[in-house]
Chain A
Amino acid sequence: MTALFRPDATVHLGVFYQGVNHTTIWSDPASGSQIDFETFRRLITTAERGLFDAFFLGEGLRLREQGGKILDLDIAGRPDAITQLAALAGITTNIGLVATQNTTYNEPVDLARRLSGLDVLSGGRAGWNVVTTDNAWTGENFRRGGYLDHADRYVRAGEFLDVARALWNAGGTPDSVRIQSSQFDIASAAPIPRSPQDHPVIFQAGDSSTGRDFAAQHADVIFSAHGTHFDDALDFANDIRARLVARGRPDDDIKILPGTQIVLADHERDVDEKVRWVKEGQFTGPTTLSIAGQVWGRDLSDRDPDGPLPTEDPIVSGVVGARGSAFNGIDVDARVREWRSLAEAKNLSLRQVVIETSARTGFAGTPSQVADELTRWVRGGASDGFNITPYLVPSGLDDIVDKLVPELQERGSYPAAYGGSTLREHLGLRRPSIGE
């Protein structure tokens, strides 16, 4: 495995405001509203004070369900990403604004236009995290309904991006755009104004081989899932670099920002306790039993979360199927076997197994320790920075900005000010080749 040596590399930070799902703790007195605008204002203002490159929002298209009922344990309810980011653009000046938007349940001219609007009004700060979905369950909220064949998700996404790029390239010119492809038949004379950064920055998060190839072909930034172990992150980054070179792109043409969580404590002796507190807040008893129920395909809500694993075999097409969760389509027998051997080897309770297998551990330590580690990652080529999900809103970035950022700056691995005014400039990306 080749580690790079980039002695001058600096850490890029983004914040992924989930605000929903079990990773966001709601039982703490400091846990604020997930929807009130003030929560977003405080987080993005803090992130901008900390010179973050970007503020990310996810997208919800259907409320999660379990066993045919709306999942009631996690925080749910969030805003439309582009609308919310436009409002946040009005109260910020530098930070990038990245909207997760699905190519399956949007139409390209409409979405390209709304992303351009955000980009132009914000002075070139918009990004688009491209995601795909294939299921009919989500489709039940949309005109198109139905679903895409799993393999067609990326076909549609690629053709969708082609339409969007053609429109952005025609921006500020009298050219019209005519596209006929397997998914689209579109004609648009759209004099969308030209953005200071030409196109919104394209982010992509897919981790499958198809997803990685899609990123190597289309993306400016990868929001990866490799944000805990250095070697694993380096493998991923090397794989992406190889795919870029194979496509004829420079091997640093994509920035890699793993999603991660950062838990800070002022003193080393308090770190473990803080980590335990976060995980127990994220994986409450009911949440533990809900996650286990999704794996077993059974209702386990009457079990003891701090007791042993259920003795029954999982039901492959269980009644407690979760919709809109990460457990769709996994091999449950293999998952249960893996959990049993882990519990046996380490003498763990059900809750401990769920935490060990589900939690994104990320980084934990004193500000000084974590600053060393983030710097090592970036200078060793494992990533270009990190996309941090706060486990608590709206205060979840405070200690990162007040304590970790100054430590990074002291090491020379973090900027002292915003260098440019567009998201593309913050990330150090090349301008798109217009007319490709």
Chain B
Amino acid sequence: MTRTVTLGFDVGVGSADGRAVAATVTAAENAGFGYVTFDDDDVATGGVDAVTRAAFVAATTSTVGLVATASTTYAEPFHLSSQLASLDYASRGRAGWVASRSLAPDVAAAWGREVVSADTDLVREQRDSVTVARGLWDSWEDDAVIRDFPTGRFLNQQKLHYVDFVGEEYSVKGPAIVPRPPQGQVVVFGRFGEIDADLLDVVLVENEADARAVTGAHVVLDVEAPGSPTAAAALVERIAALDDAIGGIRLRPDLIDDDLRVAARYVLPQLFERDLAHRPVPATTLRSTLGLARPVNRFEAAR
């Protein structure tokens, strides 16, 4: 059996036109991509935020994973975790999160906060944000809702948990306001070298050397999307010869809709034909598309 790769497509910061957003993501789903990533250009530069764009197409798509970029530097982790869990419910288990950083001082000014610029501080905010979100996603066990008519209890208190996160900068009590998401944990993506891979499900890398340095996560190589049939053929050969450390590729287009059409016609059909990749199966979760298990709830495991 040949080794297969997972396929992602980056739809960038996209359009503010709902129909255009939906048309692009639907085209990526029809082409057979496992997921799309929505970039976010942060509060300082406007545009529609990635979580909202991803949510807008959640109920009109069915197999493509919806991976929203959201910065960890200034946002409230409690809100972020709720937003991402809600995206997971609306998409029936196809939500992902690129946990990014905000580097521009303008972003701090828009939040009305002191600039976070030192690398150690950026690392801390990323780590704490992901830690809090993951804790909150486990704060309801899967079977916390019991509808126990004889005692009048809707919830089993024993299956709801305070997360009691205490960091250097803030603390979060919990539990979440949203029940545990369908995937158990929303799929968390991060850039190589920014966040400890232990906190991630997927690590995005720029080259094969970095890929070999990652352990314990699904590794995705960022590749420039081909703009022509010739470039597409070359990409197919490159994928056929990929290093074993790489589990998937993500195409970064120059012209989103044009490059998507090229990929749909000249890359994905060849990959499927040669058994180098598969279309997502119906009713799939993003986790299963990426070959990741549904995590056991930490509180259930500790019982």
Interface of B is mostly: mixed
Question: Known contacts A72-B157, A187-B109: does B52 contact A117 (CB below 8 Å)?
Answer: yes
- Residues on B with C-beta less than 8 A from A27 are 147, 149
Q: Total A-B residue pairs with C-beta atoms closer than 8 Å?
A: 199
- Residues on B with C-beta less than 8 A from A110 are 43, 75, 110-111
Question: Quick one: CB contact mask for B69-105 with A, threshold 8 Å, 1 for yes?
Answer: 0000011111100110111011110000000000000
**CB pair A188 B44 closer than 8 Å:** yes
Interface of A is mostly: loop
Question: Quick one: CB contact mask for A105-117 with B, threshold 8 Å, 1 for yes?
Answer: 1111110011011
**CB pair B172 A87 closer than 8 Å:** no
- Taking a contact as CB atoms closer than 8 A, the residue among A62, A75, A76, A84 that contacts B90 in the complex is A84
Q: How many residues of chain B have a CB within 8 Å of chain A?
A: 64
**CB pair A90 B153 closer than 8 Å:** no
Q: State the 5 A-B residue pairs at the shortest beta-carbon distance, nearest first.
A: A286-B152, A87-B90, A86-B55, A117-B48, A79-B86
Q: How many residues of chain A have a CB within 8 Å of chain B?
A: 64
Is there a chain A Cβ closer than 8 Å to B224's Cβ? Answer: no
Question: Known contacts A89-B18, A140-B171, A188-B109: does B43 contact A76 (CB below 8 Å)?
Answer: no
CA distance A69 to B144 in the complex (A): 15
CA distance A52 to B147 in the complex (A): 31
CA distance A142 to B75 in the complex (A): 10
Residue from B75, B154, B172 whose CB has the most chain A CB atoms within 10 Å: B154
Question: Quick one: CB contact mask for A169-189 with B, threshold 8 Å, 1 for yes?
Answer: 000000000000000111111
CA distance A412 to B133 in the complex (A): 51
Report A235 CB to chain B, min CB distance, Å.
35
Is there a chain B Cβ closer than 8 Å to A155's Cβ? Answer: no
CA distance A344 to B106 in the complex (A): 65
CA distance A141 to B162 in the complex (A): 10
Is there a chain B Cβ closer than 8 Å to A210's Cβ? Answer: no
- Residues on B with C-beta less than 8 A from A107 are 74, 76, 111-112
Report which B residues bind A (CB closer than 8 A): 16-18, 21-22, 43-49, 51-53, 55-60, 74-79, 82-83, 85-87, 89-92, 106, 109-112, 140, 144-145, 147, 149, 151-157, 160, 169-175, 177-179
**CB pair B46 A83 closer than 8 Å:** no
Question: Known contacts A83-B52, A143-B170: does B83 contact A73 (CB below 8 Å)?
Answer: no
Question: Known contacts A83-B86, A142-B78, A145-B171: does B152 contact A284 (CB below 8 Å)?
Answer: yes
- Residues on B with C-beta less than 8 A from A327 are none
- Residues on B with C-beta less than 8 A from A145 are 170-171
Report A68 CB to chain B, min CB distance, Å.
11
